[in-house]
Amino acid sequence: MNSFDVVVIGSGPGGYVSAIRCAQLGFKTAIIEKYPTLGGTCLNVGCIPSKALLDSSHHYHDAVHHFEGHGIEIKGGVKANLKRMIERKGEVVDQNVSGIKYLMDKNKITVMEGVGSFEDATRIKVTNGKKSEVIEAKNTIIATGSKPSTLPFIKIDKERIITSTEALKLNEIPKHLIVIGGGVIGLELGQVYLRLGAEVSVVEFMDRIIPGMDGALSKELTKVLKKQGMKFYTSHKVKSVEAKGEKVTVQADNAKGETITLEGDYSLVSVGRRPYTDGLAAEKAGVKITDRGQIEVNDHLQTNVPNIYAIGDVVRGAMLAHKAEEEGVMVAEIIAGQKPHIDYNLIPGVVYTWPEVAAVGKTEEQLKEAGVAYKAGSFPMKALGRSRASGDTDGFVKILADAKTDEVLGVHMIGARVADLIAEAVTAMEFRASAEDIARMSHAHPTYAEAVKEAALDATDKRSIHS
Ligand code: FAD
Protein backbone atom coordinates (compact mmCIF):
# COMPACT_ATOMS: atom_id res chain seq x y z
CA MET A 1 0.00 0.00 0.00
CA ASN A 2 1.30 3.47 -0.93
CA SER A 3 1.86 5.54 2.15
CA PHE A 4 2.12 9.33 2.53
CA ASP A 5 2.85 11.83 5.28
CA VAL A 6 0.01 14.01 4.02
CA VAL A 7 -2.87 13.27 1.66
CA VAL A 8 -4.90 16.23 0.43
CA ILE A 9 -8.41 15.54 -0.87
CA GLY A 10 -9.45 18.16 -3.43
CA SER A 11 -7.22 20.29 -5.66
CA GLY A 12 -8.88 23.74 -5.42
CA PRO A 13 -6.91 26.75 -4.16
CA GLY A 14 -7.08 25.34 -0.64
CA GLY A 15 -5.92 21.85 -1.58
CA TYR A 16 -3.22 22.55 -4.15
CA VAL A 17 -1.62 25.37 -2.14
CA SER A 18 -1.63 23.17 0.94
CA ALA A 19 -0.01 20.33 -1.00
CA ILE A 20 2.77 22.65 -2.21
CA ARG A 21 3.44 23.97 1.31
CA CYS A 22 3.47 20.38 2.65
CA ALA A 23 6.03 19.41 -0.01
CA GLN A 24 8.13 22.49 0.78
CA LEU A 25 8.16 21.37 4.42
CA GLY A 26 9.54 17.99 3.38
CA PHE A 27 6.39 15.86 3.65
CA LYS A 28 5.73 13.04 1.21
CA THR A 29 2.50 14.41 -0.22
CA ALA A 30 -0.33 13.17 -2.44
CA ILE A 31 -3.31 15.09 -3.79
CA ILE A 32 -6.55 13.44 -4.90
CA GLU A 33 -8.86 15.14 -7.39
CA LYS A 34 -12.01 13.60 -8.82
CA TYR A 35 -11.98 15.72 -12.00
CA PRO A 36 -9.38 15.31 -14.76
CA THR A 37 -8.16 18.90 -14.30
CA LEU A 38 -6.66 20.36 -11.14
CA GLY A 39 -7.56 23.74 -9.63
CA GLY A 40 -11.06 23.07 -8.26
CA THR A 41 -13.98 25.45 -8.52
CA CYS A 42 -11.83 28.56 -8.62
CA LEU A 43 -9.76 27.72 -11.66
CA ASN A 44 -12.28 25.64 -13.60
CA VAL A 45 -15.72 27.17 -12.97
CA GLY A 46 -15.19 30.08 -10.58
CA CYS A 47 -12.74 32.94 -10.11
CA ILE A 48 -10.68 32.57 -13.26
CA PRO A 49 -13.31 31.88 -15.96
CA SER A 50 -15.63 34.52 -14.52
CA LYS A 51 -12.85 37.11 -14.61
CA ALA A 52 -11.98 36.10 -18.19
CA LEU A 53 -15.58 36.76 -19.27
CA LEU A 54 -15.74 39.95 -17.20
CA ASP A 55 -12.63 41.23 -18.96
CA SER A 56 -13.85 40.29 -22.47
CA SER A 57 -17.29 41.81 -21.92
CA HIS A 58 -15.67 44.91 -20.40
CA HIS A 59 -13.60 45.43 -23.57
CA TYR A 60 -16.75 45.06 -25.66
CA HIS A 61 -18.69 47.48 -23.48
CA ASP A 62 -15.89 50.03 -23.67
CA ALA A 63 -15.73 49.67 -27.44
CA VAL A 64 -19.47 50.29 -27.76
CA HIS A 65 -19.87 53.00 -25.14
CA HIS A 66 -16.54 54.67 -24.43
CA PHE A 67 -14.21 54.41 -27.43
CA GLU A 68 -15.87 57.25 -29.29
CA GLY A 69 -15.40 59.60 -26.35
CA HIS A 70 -11.70 58.67 -26.33
CA GLY A 71 -11.47 59.51 -30.03
CA ILE A 72 -11.45 55.95 -31.32
CA GLU A 73 -13.70 55.26 -34.26
CA ILE A 74 -14.57 51.74 -35.29
CA LYS A 75 -15.83 51.52 -38.82
CA GLY A 76 -18.59 49.02 -39.42
CA GLY A 77 -19.63 48.79 -35.76
CA VAL A 78 -18.67 46.44 -32.95
CA LYS A 79 -20.06 42.93 -32.58
CA ALA A 80 -19.93 40.61 -29.57
CA ASN A 81 -18.84 37.09 -30.48
CA LEU A 82 -19.91 35.07 -27.44
CA LYS A 83 -18.60 31.81 -28.92
CA ARG A 84 -15.08 33.29 -29.13
CA MET A 85 -15.34 34.80 -25.65
CA ILE A 86 -16.24 31.41 -24.21
CA GLU A 87 -13.45 29.77 -26.23
CA ARG A 88 -10.94 32.30 -24.91
CA LYS A 89 -12.21 31.73 -21.38
CA GLY A 90 -11.51 28.02 -21.95
CA GLU A 91 -7.97 28.83 -23.08
CA VAL A 92 -7.35 30.93 -19.97
CA VAL A 93 -8.66 28.09 -17.77
CA ASP A 94 -6.45 25.56 -19.61
CA GLN A 95 -3.33 27.68 -19.05
CA ASN A 96 -4.12 27.97 -15.37
CA VAL A 97 -4.96 24.34 -14.69
CA SER A 98 -1.91 23.10 -16.57
CA GLY A 99 0.11 25.53 -14.45
CA ILE A 100 -1.09 23.69 -11.36
CA LYS A 101 -0.10 20.33 -12.83
CA TYR A 102 3.38 21.79 -13.49
CA LEU A 103 3.60 22.96 -9.87
CA MET A 104 2.55 19.54 -8.57
CA ASP A 105 5.29 17.87 -10.66
CA LYS A 106 7.88 20.49 -9.70
CA ASN A 107 7.17 19.86 -6.01
CA LYS A 108 7.13 16.06 -6.48
CA ILE A 109 3.56 15.75 -5.29
CA THR A 110 1.76 12.54 -6.30
CA VAL A 111 -1.41 13.45 -8.19
CA MET A 112 -4.17 10.84 -8.06
CA GLU A 113 -7.28 11.20 -10.20
CA GLY A 114 -10.43 9.80 -8.60
CA VAL A 115 -12.87 10.25 -5.76
CA GLY A 116 -11.18 10.12 -2.37
CA SER A 117 -13.21 8.42 0.37
CA PHE A 118 -12.25 7.43 3.88
CA GLU A 119 -11.94 3.75 4.76
CA ASP A 120 -10.96 4.80 8.30
CA ALA A 121 -8.91 7.57 9.92
CA THR A 122 -5.67 6.63 8.15
CA ARG A 123 -6.71 4.87 4.96
CA ILE A 124 -8.25 6.51 1.91
CA LYS A 125 -9.70 4.81 -1.12
CA VAL A 126 -9.21 6.51 -4.48
CA THR A 127 -11.84 5.41 -6.98
CA ASN A 128 -11.60 6.22 -10.67
CA GLY A 129 -14.36 4.49 -12.62
CA LYS A 130 -13.96 0.77 -12.01
CA LYS A 131 -10.41 1.11 -10.67
CA SER A 132 -9.67 1.78 -7.04
CA GLU A 133 -6.63 1.93 -4.81
CA VAL A 134 -6.29 2.32 -1.06
CA ILE A 135 -3.50 4.54 0.25
CA GLU A 136 -2.29 5.25 3.74
CA ALA A 137 -2.17 8.77 5.16
CA LYS A 138 -0.47 9.83 8.38
CA ASN A 139 -2.36 13.12 8.03
CA THR A 140 -5.26 14.04 5.78
CA ILE A 141 -6.39 17.48 4.70
CA ILE A 142 -9.98 17.66 3.48
CA ALA A 143 -10.29 20.41 0.86
CA THR A 144 -13.38 19.26 -0.99
CA GLY A 145 -14.83 22.74 -1.47
CA SER A 146 -18.39 23.65 -2.29
CA LYS A 147 -21.14 23.40 -4.92
CA PRO A 148 -23.85 25.89 -5.92
CA SER A 149 -26.86 25.70 -3.64
CA THR A 150 -30.46 26.37 -4.56
CA LEU A 151 -33.84 26.94 -2.93
CA PRO A 152 -35.92 23.85 -2.16
CA PHE A 153 -38.62 24.69 -4.72
CA ILE A 154 -36.26 25.51 -7.59
CA LYS A 155 -35.32 22.76 -9.99
CA ILE A 156 -32.04 23.62 -11.69
CA ASP A 157 -32.41 22.15 -15.19
CA LYS A 158 -28.97 23.47 -16.30
CA GLU A 159 -30.56 24.63 -19.58
CA ARG A 160 -32.79 27.58 -18.71
CA ILE A 161 -32.61 27.56 -14.92
CA ILE A 162 -28.89 27.59 -14.39
CA THR A 163 -26.06 28.01 -11.87
CA SER A 164 -22.83 29.93 -12.33
CA THR A 165 -21.25 26.85 -13.92
CA GLU A 166 -23.67 26.94 -16.88
CA ALA A 167 -23.63 30.75 -17.02
CA LEU A 168 -19.93 30.51 -17.85
CA LYS A 169 -20.65 28.56 -21.03
CA LEU A 170 -23.91 29.77 -22.56
CA ASN A 171 -24.38 29.34 -26.31
CA GLU A 172 -26.24 32.61 -26.73
CA ILE A 173 -26.57 36.00 -25.11
CA PRO A 174 -29.79 35.88 -23.08
CA LYS A 175 -32.54 38.30 -24.02
CA HIS A 176 -33.59 38.62 -20.40
CA LEU A 177 -31.51 37.06 -17.66
CA ILE A 178 -33.25 36.89 -14.29
CA VAL A 179 -30.64 36.64 -11.56
CA ILE A 180 -31.83 35.24 -8.25
CA GLY A 181 -29.55 36.54 -5.50
CA GLY A 182 -27.77 39.90 -5.52
CA GLY A 183 -24.46 38.62 -4.13
CA VAL A 184 -21.03 38.62 -5.73
CA ILE A 185 -21.50 35.78 -8.22
CA GLY A 186 -24.93 36.94 -9.44
CA LEU A 187 -23.78 40.52 -9.95
CA GLU A 188 -20.53 39.59 -11.70
CA LEU A 189 -22.16 37.22 -14.15
CA GLY A 190 -25.19 39.50 -14.47
CA GLN A 191 -22.88 42.31 -15.54
CA VAL A 192 -21.15 40.10 -18.13
CA TYR A 193 -24.44 39.56 -19.96
CA LEU A 194 -25.71 43.09 -19.32
CA ARG A 195 -22.65 44.43 -21.14
CA LEU A 196 -23.25 42.03 -24.01
CA GLY A 197 -26.77 43.39 -24.47
CA ALA A 198 -29.03 41.25 -22.28
CA GLU A 199 -31.73 42.75 -20.11
CA VAL A 200 -30.74 41.76 -16.58
CA SER A 201 -33.04 41.74 -13.54
CA VAL A 202 -31.74 40.91 -10.09
CA VAL A 203 -34.14 39.62 -7.45
CA GLU A 204 -32.78 39.83 -3.90
CA PHE A 205 -34.42 38.74 -0.66
CA MET A 206 -32.58 41.29 1.51
CA ASP A 207 -33.22 45.02 1.26
CA ARG A 208 -29.94 45.59 -0.57
CA ILE A 209 -27.45 43.89 -2.86
CA ILE A 210 -24.07 42.61 -1.53
CA PRO A 211 -25.72 42.51 1.90
CA GLY A 212 -22.59 41.42 3.79
CA MET A 213 -20.61 44.49 2.74
CA ASP A 214 -20.72 48.07 4.06
CA GLY A 215 -24.06 49.73 3.26
CA ALA A 216 -22.40 52.63 1.45
CA LEU A 217 -20.78 50.25 -1.05
CA SER A 218 -24.08 48.56 -1.67
CA LYS A 219 -25.79 51.92 -2.29
CA GLU A 220 -23.14 53.15 -4.71
CA LEU A 221 -22.95 49.86 -6.62
CA THR A 222 -26.75 49.81 -6.97
CA LYS A 223 -26.67 53.36 -8.32
CA VAL A 224 -23.94 52.63 -10.87
CA LEU A 225 -25.39 49.30 -12.02
CA LYS A 226 -28.82 50.91 -12.41
CA LYS A 227 -27.21 53.57 -14.55
CA GLN A 228 -25.77 50.76 -16.67
CA GLY A 229 -29.27 49.33 -17.08
CA MET A 230 -29.46 46.55 -14.49
CA LYS A 231 -32.85 46.25 -12.79
CA PHE A 232 -33.20 45.45 -9.10
CA TYR A 233 -35.98 43.87 -7.10
CA THR A 234 -34.68 44.03 -3.53
CA SER A 235 -36.79 42.88 -0.54
CA HIS A 236 -38.38 40.36 -2.88
CA LYS A 237 -38.82 36.76 -1.83
CA VAL A 238 -38.73 34.41 -4.80
CA LYS A 239 -41.50 31.83 -4.56
CA SER A 240 -41.35 30.04 -7.88
CA VAL A 241 -39.05 29.62 -10.86
CA GLU A 242 -40.46 27.66 -13.79
CA ALA A 243 -39.06 26.90 -17.22
CA LYS A 244 -41.24 26.06 -20.19
CA GLY A 245 -39.57 25.69 -23.57
CA GLU A 246 -37.39 28.76 -24.00
CA LYS A 247 -39.24 30.77 -21.38
CA VAL A 248 -38.51 31.17 -17.68
CA THR A 249 -41.05 32.65 -15.29
CA VAL A 250 -40.01 33.90 -11.86
CA GLN A 251 -42.53 34.93 -9.24
CA ALA A 252 -41.57 36.84 -6.12
CA ASP A 253 -43.38 38.55 -3.26
CA ASN A 254 -42.42 42.10 -2.35
CA ALA A 255 -42.38 43.54 1.18
CA LYS A 256 -46.10 44.39 0.93
CA GLY A 257 -46.90 40.79 0.08
CA GLU A 258 -47.73 41.59 -3.56
CA THR A 259 -46.56 39.12 -6.17
CA ILE A 260 -44.53 40.23 -9.16
CA THR A 261 -43.95 38.08 -12.22
CA LEU A 262 -40.82 38.32 -14.34
CA GLU A 263 -40.47 36.59 -17.68
CA GLY A 264 -37.11 35.88 -19.23
CA ASP A 265 -35.26 33.26 -21.22
CA TYR A 266 -32.67 32.30 -18.55
CA SER A 267 -32.62 32.41 -14.77
CA LEU A 268 -29.31 32.31 -12.93
CA VAL A 269 -29.74 30.93 -9.43
CA SER A 270 -26.94 32.45 -7.34
CA VAL A 271 -28.20 32.13 -3.80
CA GLY A 272 -24.94 30.89 -2.31
CA ARG A 273 -22.88 27.74 -2.16
CA ARG A 274 -23.00 24.70 0.06
CA PRO A 275 -20.03 22.81 1.50
CA TYR A 276 -19.37 19.64 -0.48
CA THR A 277 -18.70 16.32 1.24
CA ASP A 278 -20.64 13.91 -1.00
CA GLY A 279 -18.81 10.63 -1.53
CA LEU A 280 -16.17 11.42 1.09
CA ALA A 281 -17.46 8.87 3.61
CA ALA A 282 -16.33 11.17 6.43
CA GLU A 283 -18.34 9.07 8.87
CA LYS A 284 -16.03 6.07 8.30
CA ALA A 285 -13.18 8.13 9.73
CA GLY A 286 -15.46 9.48 12.47
CA VAL A 287 -15.16 13.08 11.21
CA LYS A 288 -17.96 15.34 12.46
CA ILE A 289 -20.04 17.37 10.01
CA THR A 290 -22.12 20.29 11.32
CA ASP A 291 -25.85 20.81 10.74
CA ARG A 292 -24.88 23.24 7.99
CA GLY A 293 -22.94 20.52 6.18
CA GLN A 294 -19.53 21.97 7.04
CA ILE A 295 -16.65 19.87 8.34
CA GLU A 296 -16.27 20.92 11.96
CA VAL A 297 -12.81 22.25 12.80
CA ASN A 298 -11.13 23.95 15.76
CA ASP A 299 -8.91 27.05 15.59
CA HIS A 300 -6.13 24.85 14.23
CA LEU A 301 -8.31 23.62 11.37
CA GLN A 302 -8.24 20.20 12.99
CA THR A 303 -11.34 18.03 12.93
CA ASN A 304 -12.46 15.96 15.91
CA VAL A 305 -10.11 13.26 14.55
CA PRO A 306 -6.60 14.50 15.44
CA ASN A 307 -4.78 13.57 12.22
CA ILE A 308 -7.52 14.89 9.92
CA TYR A 309 -7.74 18.58 9.05
CA ALA A 310 -10.10 20.56 6.81
CA ILE A 311 -9.78 23.89 4.97
CA GLY A 312 -11.46 26.21 2.48
CA ASP A 313 -15.10 26.32 1.45
CA VAL A 314 -15.88 23.06 3.25
CA VAL A 315 -15.27 24.68 6.65
CA ARG A 316 -16.72 27.77 8.38
CA GLY A 317 -15.91 31.26 7.18
CA ALA A 318 -15.90 33.19 3.92
CA MET A 319 -16.05 31.10 0.75
CA LEU A 320 -13.10 32.76 -0.94
CA ALA A 321 -10.11 31.36 -2.80
CA HIS A 322 -7.54 33.41 -0.90
CA LYS A 323 -9.06 32.38 2.45
CA ALA A 324 -8.76 28.73 1.35
CA GLU A 325 -5.13 29.35 0.33
CA GLU A 326 -4.20 30.90 3.67
CA GLU A 327 -5.77 27.95 5.46
CA GLY A 328 -3.89 25.57 3.16
CA VAL A 329 -0.57 27.08 4.18
CA MET A 330 -1.55 27.29 7.85
CA VAL A 331 -2.57 23.65 8.11
CA ALA A 332 0.64 22.41 6.47
CA GLU A 333 2.69 24.45 8.94
CA ILE A 334 0.63 23.18 11.87
CA ILE A 335 1.31 19.59 10.80
CA ALA A 336 5.00 20.55 10.70
CA GLY A 337 4.78 21.71 14.31
CA GLN A 338 4.89 25.43 13.57
CA LYS A 339 2.52 28.01 15.05
CA PRO A 340 0.99 29.94 12.14
CA HIS A 341 -1.96 32.29 12.52
CA ILE A 342 -4.63 33.74 10.25
CA ASP A 343 -6.37 37.02 11.07
CA TYR A 344 -9.78 36.35 9.52
CA ASN A 345 -10.70 40.01 10.02
CA LEU A 346 -8.09 40.85 7.40
CA ILE A 347 -9.31 38.59 4.60
CA PRO A 348 -10.43 41.06 1.93
CA GLY A 349 -13.67 40.67 0.00
CA VAL A 350 -13.92 41.74 -3.63
CA VAL A 351 -16.65 42.07 -6.26
CA TYR A 352 -15.21 42.19 -9.78
CA THR A 353 -17.96 44.22 -11.36
CA TRP A 354 -16.94 47.54 -12.90
CA PRO A 355 -16.58 49.60 -10.87
CA GLU A 356 -14.93 47.02 -8.65
CA VAL A 357 -15.85 46.78 -4.98
CA ALA A 358 -13.38 45.78 -2.27
CA ALA A 359 -13.33 45.81 1.49
CA VAL A 360 -11.41 44.66 4.52
CA GLY A 361 -12.05 44.84 8.25
CA LYS A 362 -15.19 46.10 9.92
CA THR A 363 -18.15 47.76 8.21
CA GLU A 364 -19.83 50.84 9.67
CA GLU A 365 -22.82 48.68 10.55
CA GLN A 366 -20.60 46.28 12.52
CA LEU A 367 -18.82 49.08 14.38
CA LYS A 368 -22.16 50.67 15.31
CA GLU A 369 -23.53 47.36 16.50
CA ALA A 370 -20.42 46.70 18.60
CA GLY A 371 -20.64 50.22 20.07
CA VAL A 372 -17.13 51.13 18.88
CA ALA A 373 -16.42 54.88 18.71
CA TYR A 374 -15.03 55.49 15.22
CA LYS A 375 -14.44 58.24 12.72
CA ALA A 376 -14.97 57.97 8.98
CA GLY A 377 -13.09 59.59 6.15
CA SER A 378 -13.92 59.28 2.50
CA PHE A 379 -12.82 60.51 -0.88
CA PRO A 380 -14.70 60.39 -4.20
CA MET A 381 -12.97 58.86 -7.21
CA LYS A 382 -14.25 61.67 -9.41
CA ALA A 383 -11.88 64.09 -7.67
CA LEU A 384 -8.82 62.14 -8.86
CA GLY A 385 -6.86 63.20 -11.91
CA ARG A 386 -6.25 59.53 -12.75
CA SER A 387 -9.99 58.78 -12.76
CA ARG A 388 -10.76 61.73 -14.98
CA ALA A 389 -8.04 60.68 -17.41
CA SER A 390 -9.46 57.16 -17.76
CA GLY A 391 -13.09 58.21 -17.45
CA ASP A 392 -13.68 55.96 -14.42
CA THR A 393 -15.17 58.52 -12.06
CA ASP A 394 -17.69 56.40 -10.13
CA GLY A 395 -17.05 55.36 -6.54
CA PHE A 396 -15.11 56.33 -3.45
CA VAL A 397 -12.76 55.09 -0.77
CA LYS A 398 -13.96 55.12 2.83
CA ILE A 399 -11.70 54.56 5.82
CA LEU A 400 -13.01 53.86 9.30
CA ALA A 401 -10.62 54.49 12.17
CA ASP A 402 -10.83 54.22 15.93
CA ALA A 403 -11.99 57.57 17.33
CA LYS A 404 -9.33 57.59 20.05
CA THR A 405 -6.32 55.72 18.71
CA ASP A 406 -6.80 56.45 14.98
CA GLU A 407 -6.13 52.75 14.21
CA VAL A 408 -7.68 51.74 10.89
CA LEU A 409 -10.61 49.40 11.57
CA GLY A 410 -12.11 49.02 8.10
CA VAL A 411 -11.53 50.13 4.53
CA HIS A 412 -14.30 50.09 1.93
CA MET A 413 -13.77 50.98 -1.69
CA ILE A 414 -15.67 51.11 -4.94
CA GLY A 415 -14.06 52.27 -8.15
CA ALA A 416 -11.58 51.40 -10.85
CA ARG A 417 -9.00 48.77 -9.86
CA VAL A 418 -9.96 48.72 -6.18
CA ALA A 419 -9.59 44.92 -6.22
CA ASP A 420 -5.86 45.66 -6.39
CA LEU A 421 -5.93 48.76 -4.17
CA ILE A 422 -7.36 46.83 -1.24
CA ALA A 423 -3.96 45.18 -0.73
CA GLU A 424 -2.66 48.50 0.63
CA ALA A 425 -5.41 48.54 3.23
CA VAL A 426 -4.71 44.92 4.20
CA THR A 427 -1.01 45.69 4.62
CA ALA A 428 -1.73 48.79 6.66
CA MET A 429 -4.15 46.96 8.93
CA GLU A 430 -1.82 43.97 9.31
CA PHE A 431 0.75 46.39 10.73
CA ARG A 432 -1.97 48.12 12.77
CA ALA A 433 -1.50 51.41 10.98
CA SER A 434 -3.35 54.54 11.99
CA ALA A 435 -5.23 56.56 9.39
CA GLU A 436 -2.52 59.19 9.76
CA ASP A 437 0.19 56.61 8.93
CA ILE A 438 -1.48 56.06 5.54
CA ALA A 439 -2.10 59.79 5.13
CA ARG A 440 1.61 60.54 5.53
CA MET A 441 2.79 57.93 3.00
CA SER A 442 3.66 59.13 -0.48
CA HIS A 443 1.30 57.75 -3.12
CA ALA A 444 2.38 58.00 -6.74
CA HIS A 445 0.58 60.62 -8.80
CA PRO A 446 -1.61 60.24 -10.73
CA THR A 447 -2.98 56.90 -9.45
CA TYR A 448 -6.26 55.55 -8.15
CA ALA A 449 -4.34 54.79 -4.95
CA GLU A 450 -4.29 58.49 -4.14
CA ALA A 451 -7.93 58.05 -3.12
CA VAL A 452 -6.70 55.86 -0.24
CA LYS A 453 -4.33 58.56 0.97
CA GLU A 454 -7.00 61.25 0.62
CA ALA A 455 -9.60 59.16 2.50
CA ALA A 456 -6.98 58.60 5.22
CA LEU A 457 -6.36 62.36 5.40
CA ASP A 458 -10.10 62.87 5.71
CA ALA A 459 -10.33 60.24 8.48
CA THR A 460 -7.33 61.69 10.32
CA ASP A 461 -8.85 65.08 10.92
CA LYS A 462 -10.77 66.09 7.83
CA ARG A 463 -7.69 67.39 6.05
CA SER A 464 -8.11 65.87 2.63
CA ILE A 465 -6.33 68.07 0.08
CA HIS A 466 -8.38 67.53 -3.07
CA SER A 467 -11.97 67.53 -1.89
P1 FAD B 1 -12.80 24.09 -4.46
O2 FAD B 1 -12.13 25.09 -5.30
O3 FAD B 1 -14.27 23.95 -4.57
O4 FAD B 1 -12.10 22.71 -4.78
C5 FAD B 1 -12.52 21.52 -4.25
C6 FAD B 1 -12.04 20.38 -5.15
O7 FAD B 1 -12.23 19.17 -4.47
C8 FAD B 1 -12.82 20.28 -6.44
O9 FAD B 1 -11.95 20.25 -7.53
C10 FAD B 1 -13.58 18.96 -6.30
O11 FAD B 1 -13.75 18.29 -7.53
C12 FAD B 1 -12.65 18.19 -5.39
N13 FAD B 1 -13.32 17.13 -4.64
C14 FAD B 1 -14.45 17.21 -3.88
N15 FAD B 1 -14.71 16.04 -3.26
C16 FAD B 1 -13.71 15.19 -3.65
C17 FAD B 1 -13.41 13.86 -3.33
N18 FAD B 1 -14.15 13.14 -2.46
N19 FAD B 1 -12.34 13.29 -3.91
C20 FAD B 1 -11.54 13.99 -4.77
N21 FAD B 1 -11.79 15.29 -5.09
C22 FAD B 1 -12.84 15.87 -4.53
N23 FAD B 1 -13.33 33.37 -4.82
C24 FAD B 1 -12.46 34.39 -4.77
O25 FAD B 1 -11.70 34.50 -3.81
N26 FAD B 1 -12.39 35.30 -5.79
C27 FAD B 1 -13.21 35.23 -6.86
O28 FAD B 1 -13.13 36.07 -7.77
C29 FAD B 1 -14.15 34.19 -6.93
N30 FAD B 1 -14.99 34.08 -7.97
C31 FAD B 1 -15.86 33.04 -8.03
C32 FAD B 1 -16.71 32.96 -9.11
C33 FAD B 1 -17.60 31.91 -9.22
C34 FAD B 1 -18.51 31.83 -10.41
C35 FAD B 1 -17.62 30.91 -8.20
C36 FAD B 1 -18.54 29.75 -8.31
C37 FAD B 1 -16.77 31.00 -7.11
C38 FAD B 1 -15.90 32.06 -7.01
N39 FAD B 1 -15.04 32.20 -5.92
C40 FAD B 1 -14.17 33.25 -5.86
C41 FAD B 1 -15.04 31.23 -4.80
C42 FAD B 1 -13.87 30.26 -4.95
O43 FAD B 1 -13.99 29.57 -6.16
C44 FAD B 1 -13.88 29.28 -3.79
O45 FAD B 1 -13.88 29.98 -2.57
C46 FAD B 1 -12.64 28.39 -3.83
O47 FAD B 1 -12.60 27.66 -5.03
C48 FAD B 1 -12.63 27.43 -2.65
O49 FAD B 1 -11.51 26.63 -2.72
P50 FAD B 1 -11.46 25.17 -2.08
O51 FAD B 1 -10.07 24.69 -2.31
O52 FAD B 1 -11.99 25.19 -0.72
O53 FAD B 1 -12.50 24.29 -2.91
ipTM of predicted complex: 0.99
Question: Per residue in 116-125, pLDDT tens?
Answer: 999 999 999 9
pLDDT given for residue 53 in this prediction: 98
Q: Is the CB of 315 under 6 A from ligand 1?
A: no
Q: Is the CB of 144 under 6 A from ligand 1?
A: yes
Does the annotation mark 61 as catalytic?
no
Question: Per residue in 302-356, pLDDT tens?
Answer: 999 999 999 999 999 999 999 999 999 999 999 999 999 999 999 999 999 999 9
Question: Per residue in 144-168, pLDDT tens?
Answer: 999 999 999 999 999 999 999 999 9
Q: How confident is the model at residue 75 (pLDDT cuts 50, 70, 90)?
A: confident
Q: Are 135 and 1 in contact (CB under 8 A)?
A: yes
Average pLDDT over residues 31-49: 98
Q: Does residue 190 have a pLDDT over 90?
A: yes
**Alpha-carbon span 15 to 22, nearest angstrom:** 10
> Please, which residues bridge with residue 139 across strands?
6
Q: Does residue 21 have a pLDDT over 90?
A: yes
Q: Are 466 and 457 in contact (CB under 8 A)?
A: no
Average pLDDT over residues 219-242: 98
Question: Per residue in 101-120, pLDDT tens?
Answer: 999 999 999 999 999 999 99
- Work out which ligand 1 atom sits closest to the CA atom of 39: 9
pLDDT given for residue 153 in this prediction: 97
CB atoms near residue 155 (< 10 Å): 12
Average pLDDT over residues 272-283: 98
Q: Is the CB of 40 under 6 A from ligand 1?
A: yes
**Alpha-carbon span 381 to 390, nearest angstrom:** 11
CB atoms near residue 322 (< 10 Å): 16
Atom 28 of ligand 1, nearest CA residue? 47
> Please, which residues bridge with residue 166 across strands?
none
pLDDT given for residue 467 in this prediction: 87
Question: Per residue in 385-403, pLDDT tens?
Answer: 999 999 999 999 999 999 9
The percent of residues in the chain predicted with pLDDT above 90, rounded, is: 99
pLDDT given for residue 169 in this prediction: 98
Q: What is the mean pLDDT of the chain?
A: 98
- Work out which ligand 1 atom sits closest to the CA atom of 40: 9
Average pLDDT over residues 40-46: 98
Q: Is the CB of 38 under 6 A from ligand 1?
A: no
Average pLDDT over residues 240-245: 97
- 65, 66, 300, 445: the catalytic one is 445
Distance 88 CA to ligand 1 centre (A): 21
pLDDT given for residue 404 in this prediction: 98
pLDDT given for residue 261 in this prediction: 98
Q: Is the CB of 321 under 6 A from ligand 1?
A: yes
> Please, which residues bridge with residue 427 across strands?
none
